[in-house]
A and B are shown apart, each in its own frame.
Chain A
Amino acid sequence: MLALQLLKRNWRSGELKLLGFSLILAVAVLSGIAIFTDRLESTLINESNSVLGADYIVRGSQPHNSEWTERATSAEIRQTQSALFSSMVFAGDEMHLASVKAVDIGYPLRGQFEISRVPFAMNTSDIDIANGIPASGEAWVDSRLLPLLKINLGDKVAVGEFELTVTHVLIREPDSASPFSMTGARLIMNIVDLPKTNVVQPGSRVDYQWLVASDNVPQLKQFIDELKPLLSKHQRLVDINSAQERVGRTLQTSKQFLLLSAVIAVLLAGVAIAIAARQFSGRHTDQVALMKSLGASAPRIRSLYFSQLFLLGVISSLLGLVLGSFLQQIIAVSLQEAYQIRLGPASIYPYALSFVSGLMCVVFFALPALWHLPTVPPLKILRRELAINVTQVWMQAALALFAVLTLVILFSRDLELALSISGALLAVIVSTLVIAYGLLALSKKWMVQLGGFWRLAFANLQRNRGQSLIQILVFAVAIMLLFTLTIVRTSLIEEWKVQVPDDAPNHFLVNIPPDELPQVQNLLREANVRPEPIYPMMRARLTHINGVETTEEQRSTSNALRRELNVTWSEKLAADNKILEGQWWDKWQRKETDLPGVSVEIETATEIGLKIGDKLQFSFGGLEMHAQVASFRSLDWRSMRPNFFFIFEPGSLEGYSPTYITSIYLPPSQKSFINTLLHDHPTILLMELDRIIEQIRSIVNQVSDGVLLVLWLTLIGGCLVLFAAVMGSIAARKQQAGLLRALGSPRQLIVGSICAEFAILGGLAGLIAIIGTEILLISLQTFVLKTPIQPHYLFWLISPLSGALFVTGLGYLGCRRVVTTPPAIVLREAT
């Protein structure tokens, strides 16, 4: 096969090496990140799903449709069910309103029950992984239920009309993340015993859960997509993102950042590919003319070159895939050692996508530069000055932009990310044209006053204005992408560290009775545990807005109207809350003396359609209460502190008998404090967030480590681009310098003019790059990463300086032989 022969020869001659290496790098970075992200995502989702107990849960006030069971079975999707309700549990004369969970065989589908024979067990040796669910007639209970009911293991408790033997205490269970609505101690029983209790009657408040899971992700996704329209308005689908927003958001941000890195790396490699392809095409014009003079037809030339390019694309993509797999394996192994996390296997999707992306890079970045080759006239072999129709630069740029857009959408499936990057690229192109063209035009006037090598450098830039603009554009894009990635990485990691500091609260104490509050505070003080602010908490339902009762339709669309919410009052605005509209209590004045103010969380307010001044009516367990909207607040759910949708004016809820809530930080060494606390105050409900925090921290650490490697690879991509762009113009510079040397110009003048020319190019590119970087960052932070926008003053200095230094360095390295080699040799090589 001649194309293969030619490919081998062209590779050997070095003409394809830059193109090949750029392609390998592009696919290696893409596949490395795509495979790693896929593995990390599936592992973390699996891990997170074990917190949920399933991949998806359908929750509702009615049992799920039995037809769905058959559908799930035929789709080979695992399923089970549970029912949650509050019920009085009796033991002799003692009773407690427990949160009962009746579970079916197979529960949980993800994760496991941790049980013990020792109440409040902390030592791992005392804790067992349950091998199933409680047998019929048995119950597993929260440790705190034992002191509450004054019972021991082996004693009986009655749920409704049925007695169950308490065989184990429950240490940890999946799907325990919503204890705010169920403040009683947990009791787990077998669902077959549920009818015997007779507690579930028509009208009873029962939360039925249907759990599904499958390792066949696409099939599960299809099943869920088909299921969604069948859900009634009383049912809702819960996945890890909706169940654990904090983990979901961190995971999403991490994924977006990794993808952003991948896209930037590909973009840089793409630019290098385009430059390398242009150089290759330039060198092959004569070869094509020769082959055509020897009788090769245009279709034959097209087939030969396109076959070479295709073969190069396939081989480089495969090599890139191997390298990418190797790279991600290095990260995976280091993660395994550092965080004891074993990543699962990746799906075929990232491999296929990366391979296709390699071919896309060939088609959109390299092919346009070679497109005109078959049209090179054979007469060019005799008349070298003959003009040829090269594909227009703007056409190549448009194709490259299209490729970028397609690649970003393919990888991130995020239109905002794609538009942000494409928009910034367009901004850079426009800035380049305006600034660089303007400055080059102005420099015509300055040139006259300049002397020595500066004058020569500006003259060169003027003479090759088109080429200079392209070089500035390429340098600017490379610098912009590198700075963007560096700044985003730094700010993200800083933001994560701020959000989840080492002493972030990791336990919530809920349902603290008012009369026990002083003792609890004492206990915390004695144990040196510093609580976050303590909030009173009540459950209330919003029933009327401006005197009109909420409709069924409103309730179906708003979570806040559908269920009881936790509300509080507070004098001080929490640090992570921010007033967006209206006034906080220090400035707010009541319009009516008997109408206290309420501050509403902004997303809830938007969802319900509230305005400042609206009059709301709440029901506190049947007691009516009126309030007027005083302000809208933003709050940060990631802060690990108690947060509320509605905060009332201080004193306005006196007489509504609240319980209290706070969050505390307990280091692992002090975990046994929980035993003391719960033993003395069994009505307190404890929410252990340390697992979730650990999970977020683990994601952050993993992503930070992985991204560091990606950043290095991207840097290599950037250098490759700069190197390719410098080398692209080196032949002409060598020829000119050789001529100047031959005419007796001093070495300093030649070196000086080369360095000055590259310094001007690099400096201008740096200036344009920082403009592009700021635009890209504003877009990314506003629409994609949702992080605060801030200017980067230091980079306005660093960017032009580093651009000038780096490009000058590369340029000097490329041209240094010009002044050390005899001019005759330089001229002969150049021709």
Chain B
Amino acid sequence: MSVLSSQVSLDNATPSATRLEPMVQANAVTKHVPTQEGELTILQPISLRVNAGESLAITGASGSGKSTLLGILAGLDVPSTGDVILNGTNLSQLDEEGRAAVRAQNVGFIFQSFQLLPGLTALENVMLPLELRGDKAAQTKAKEFLQRVGLDARLHHYPQQLSGGEQQRVAIARAFASEPRILFADEPTGNLDSSTGARIIELLFELNRAQGTTLILITHEERLAQLCQRRIEIAAGAIVSSKE
């Protein structure tokens, strides 16, 4: 794996990393937004590369630009300048429909607030991304993943009938059920108590190892960041440190 700050050239990547396929590669991406006071820079030029099967933690204070970077890397947002290449496809050259197609093929998400649909049961929440892909075995696969996260007895429960930890397990099952190549997690334990959070982390990494998924996550939790192979810290829209 190679994590590069804006000052670090891609050529400086380690020899072992260059042999691996890059799953996500950001080349000098920036993000500016217009405000009443003028243009606000959210991200300074950032370059980084995450190879297939590797895990990266993005840390930083609130408002540092972590979520913006995650959104750009996942193709949810577009950079003001620079390129993002996701599994060999340059997202900057695609319109929203093209990026959606890339996400459908490659990307899974886990969110801090779980983002389960309140009107759907646990099973239906997990089935949704599979159904959107037109997967005929959606129900079987969803059941299988819910079983793997230990919720086979809660298939027909609605989110409000589940605890926070259970809801996040449903969200994890939903993320892995569509077998994404890369998983983006936005503070996956942020809404959970520490013991529930620990169990969720364990589950997340276990599934990640089993599926061979690339993992990019935002976290404030030191324990979670340490479990990742790499971590970068962002402050004022720039990478201020990177550790292996």
| Residue A583, interface by CB 8 Å | no
Binary contact track B171-192/A, C-beta < 8 Å → 1, others 0: 0000000100000001000000
Q: How many residues of A contact B (CB 8 A)?
A: 27
Knowing that A293-B103, A298-B100, A381-B109 are A-B contacts, what are 8 other residue pairs whose CB atoms are under 8 Å apart, sorted by A's residue number?
A2-B131, A12-B119, A292-B100, A295-B133, A296-B104, A297-B96, A377-B77, A379-B77
Within 8 A of A (CB), among B78-107: 96-97, 100-105, 107
Q: In the assembled complex, how far is the CB of residue B153 from the closest CB belonging to chain A, in whole angstroms?
A: 21
Binary contact track B107-123/A, C-beta < 8 Å → 1, others 0: 10101000101111000
| Residue A14, interface by CB 8 Å | yes
Within 8 A of B (CB), among A361-380: 377-379
For B102, the closest partner residue in chain A by CB is: A295
| Residue A300, interface by CB 8 Å | yes
Binary contact track A1-21/B, C-beta < 8 Å → 1, others 0: 010010001101111000000
Query: Please, how many angstroms separate the alpha-carbon atoms of A293 and B109 in the complex?
Result: 8
Binary contact track A259-299/B, C-beta < 8 Å → 1, others 0: 00000000000000000000000000011001111111111
Query: Please, how many angstroms separate the alpha-carbon atoms of A382 and B58 in the complex?
Result: 15
Contact A295 B104 (CB under 8 A): yes
Contact A294 B76 (CB under 8 A): no
Contact B77 A294 (CB under 8 A): no
Which of A15, A292, A295 lies at the interface centre, i.e. has the most chain B CB atoms within 10 A of its CB? A295
Q: Which residues of B contact A382 (CB under 8 A)?
A: 67, 70-71, 76, 111, 186
| Residue A383, interface by CB 8 Å | yes
| Residue B128, interface by CB 8 Å | yes
Query: Please, how many angstroms separate the alpha-carbon atoms of A296 and B134 in the complex?
Result: 11
Contact A2 B132 (CB under 8 A): yes
Query: Please, how many angstroms separate the alpha-carbon atoms of A356 and B96 in the complex?
Result: 35
Top 10 A-B residue pairs of the complex, sorted by shortest distance between their CB atoms: A295-B104, A13-B119, A295-B103, A297-B100, A294-B129, A379-B76, A378-B76, A379-B77, A297-B97, A296-B132
Query: Please, how many angstroms separate the alpha-carbon atoms of A300 and B77 in the complex?
Result: 19
In the complex with contacts A9-B124, A381-B115, A294-B70 CB distance below 8 A? no
In the complex with contacts A10-B119, A286-B115, A293-B76, A300-B103 CB distance below 8 A? no
Q: In the assembled complex, how far is the CB of residue A734 from the closest CB belonging to chain B, in whole angstroms?
A: 15
Q: In the assembled complex, how far is the CB of residue B217 from the closest CB belonging to chain A, in whole angstroms?
A: 13
Cβ-defined partner of B71 (8 Å) among A9, A296, A383: A383
Interface size bucket, B side?
A: 20 to 34
Q: Which residues of B contact A296 (CB under 8 A)?
A: 100, 104, 132
Q: Which residues of B contact A379 (CB under 8 A)?
A: 71, 76-77
Q: In the assembled complex, how far is the CB of residue A831 from the closest CB belonging to chain B, in whole angstroms?
A: 9
Query: Please, how many angstroms separate the alpha-carbon atoms of A9 and B134 in the complex?
Result: 17
Q: In the assembled complex, how far is the CB of residue B69 from the closest CB belonging to chain A, in whole angstroms?
A: 11
Contact B119 A15 (CB under 8 A): yes
Contact B101 A297 (CB under 8 A): yes
Q: Which residues of A contact B107 (CB under 8 A)?
A: 293-295
Within 8 A of A (CB), among B173-225: 178, 186
For A12, the closest partner residue in chain B by CB is: B119
Query: Please, how many angstroms separate the alpha-carbon atoms of A141 and B81 in the complex?
Result: 103
Contact B129 A295 (CB under 8 A): yes
- A selection of 8 A-B contacts at a CB cut-off of 8 Å is A2-B131, A13-B118, A13-B120, A287-B117, A290-B115, A293-B107, A295-B100, A295-B102
Query: Please, how many angstroms separate the alpha-carbon atoms of A383 and B132 in the complex?
Result: 23
Q: In the assembled complex, how far is the CB of residue B113 from the closest CB belonging to chain A, in whole angstroms?
A: 8
Query: Please, how many angstroms separate the alpha-carbon atoms of A298 and B105 in the complex?
Result: 16
Within 8 A of A (CB), among B30-57: none
Q: In the assembled complex, how far is the CB of residue B136 from the closest CB belonging to chain A, in whole angstroms?
A: 11
Measured CB to CB, the residues of A under 8 A from B are 2, 5, 9-10, 12-15, 286-287, 290-300, 377-379, 381-383
Q: Which residues of B contact A292 (CB under 8 A)?
A: 100
Query: Please, how many angstroms separate the alpha-carbon atoms of A14 and B124 in the complex?
Result: 16
In the complex with contacts A9-B119, A381-B109, A382-B71, A291-B132 CB distance below 8 A? yes
Q: In the assembled complex, how far is the CB of residue A303 from the closest CB belonging to chain B, in whole angstroms?
A: 12
Contact A378 B100 (CB under 8 A): yes
Query: Please, how many angstroms separate the alpha-carbon atoms of A15 and B117 in the complex?
Result: 12
Which of A13, A15, A292, A294 lies at the interface centre, i.e. has the most chain B CB atoms within 10 A of its CB? A294
Query: Please, how many angstroms separate the alpha-carbon atoms of A5 and B127 in the complex?
Result: 11
Q: In the assembled complex, how far is the CB of residue B9 from the closest CB belonging to chain A, in whole angstroms?
A: 29
Query: Please, how many angstroms separate the alpha-carbon atoms of A5 and B136 in the complex?
Result: 13
For B133, the closest partner residue in chain A by CB is: A295
For B131, the closest partner residue in chain A by CB is: A2
In the complex with contacts A379-B77, A382-B186, A294-B132 CB distance below 8 A? yes
For A287, the closest partner residue in chain B by CB is: B117
Q: In the assembled complex, how far is the CB of residue B188 from the closest CB belonging to chain A, in whole angstroms?
A: 13
Q: In the assembled complex, how far is the CB of residue A280 from the closest CB belonging to chain B, in whole angstroms?
A: 11
Q: Which residues of A contact B104 (CB under 8 A)?
A: 294-296
Query: Please, how many angstroms separate the alpha-carbon atoms of A381 and B76 in the complex?
Result: 9
Contact B96 A298 (CB under 8 A): yes
Contact B128 A295 (CB under 8 A): no
Q: In the assembled complex, how far is the CB of residue B67 from the closest CB belonging to chain A, in whole angstroms?
A: 5
Q: In the assembled complex, how far is the CB of residue B81 from the closest CB belonging to chain A, in whole angstroms?
A: 18
Q: Which residues of A contact B178 (CB under 8 A)?
A: 294
Q: Which residues of A contact B134 (CB under 8 A)?
A: 2
For B160, the closest partner residue in chain A by CB is: A829
Query: Please, how many angstroms separate the alpha-carbon atoms of A215 and B124 in the complex?
Result: 55
Q: Which residues of A contact B111 (CB under 8 A)?
A: 381-382
Query: Please, how many angstroms separate the alpha-carbon atoms of A574 and B81 in the complex?
Result: 91
For A383, the closest partner residue in chain B by CB is: B67
Q: In the assembled complex, how far is the CB of residue B169 from the closest CB belonging to chain A, in whole angstroms?
A: 17
Q: In the assembled complex, how far is the CB of residue B72 from the closest CB belonging to chain A, in whole angstroms?
A: 9
For B108, the closest partner residue in chain A by CB is: A294
Q: Which residues of A contact B133 (CB under 8 A)?
A: 295
Query: Please, how many angstroms separate the alpha-carbon atoms of A381 and B113 in the complex?
Result: 10
For B120, the closest partner residue in chain A by CB is: A9
Query: Please, how many angstroms separate the alpha-carbon atoms of A300 and B76 in the complex?
Result: 17
Q: Which residues of A contact B102 (CB under 8 A)?
A: 295
Query: Please, how many angstroms separate the alpha-carbon atoms of A377 and B96 in the complex?
Result: 9
Query: Please, how many angstroms separate the alpha-carbon atoms of A12 and B71 in the complex?
Result: 33
Cβ-defined partner of B103 (8 Å) among A10, A15, A294: A294
Q: Which residues of B contact A299 (CB under 8 A)?
A: 97
Q: Which residues of B contact A15 (CB under 8 A)?
A: 119
Query: Please, how many angstroms separate the alpha-carbon atoms of A411 and B76 in the complex?
Result: 48
Query: Please, how many angstroms separate the alpha-carbon atoms of A34 and B58 in the complex?
Result: 65
Q: In the assembled complex, how far is the CB of residue A731 from the closest CB belonging to chain B, in whole angstroms?
A: 13
Q: In the assembled complex, how far is the CB of residue B48 from the closest CB belonging to chain A, in whole angstroms?
A: 18
Query: Please, how many angstroms separate the alpha-carbon atoms of A703 and B77 in the complex?
Result: 62
Query: Please, how many angstroms separate the alpha-carbon atoms of A292 and B115 in the complex?
Result: 13
Q: Which residues of B contact A12 (CB under 8 A)?
A: 119
Binary contact track B127-154/A, C-beta < 8 Å → 1, others 0: 0110111100000000000000000000
Q: Which residues of A contact B101 (CB under 8 A)?
A: 295, 297
Contact B103 A5 (CB under 8 A): no
For B106, the closest partner residue in chain A by CB is: A295
Q: Which residues of B contact A286 (CB under 8 A)?
A: 115
Query: Please, how many angstroms separate the alpha-carbon atoms of A296 and B178 in the complex?
Result: 13
Q: In the assembled complex, how far is the CB of residue A830 from the closest CB belonging to chain B, in whole angstroms?
A: 13
For B78, the closest partner residue in chain A by CB is: A379
Q: Which residues of A contact B71 (CB under 8 A)?
A: 379, 382-383
For B218, the closest partner residue in chain A by CB is: A382
In the complex with contacts A295-B100, A295-B132, A290-B117 CB distance below 8 A? yes
Contact A294 B109 (CB under 8 A): yes
Q: In the assembled complex, how far is the CB of residue B112 from the closest CB belonging to chain A, in whole angstroms?
A: 9
Query: Please, how many angstroms separate the alpha-carbon atoms of A542 and B133 in the complex?
Result: 86
Query: Please, how many angstroms separate the alpha-carbon atoms of A292 and B186 in the complex?
Result: 16
Q: In the assembled complex, how far is the CB of residue B2 from the closest CB belonging to chain A, in whole angstroms?
A: 25
Query: Please, how many angstroms separate the alpha-carbon atoms of A32 and B133 in the complex?
Result: 43
Q: Which residues of B contact A287 (CB under 8 A)?
A: 117
For A831, the closest partner residue in chain B by CB is: B113
Q: Which residues of B contact A13 (CB under 8 A)?
A: 118-120
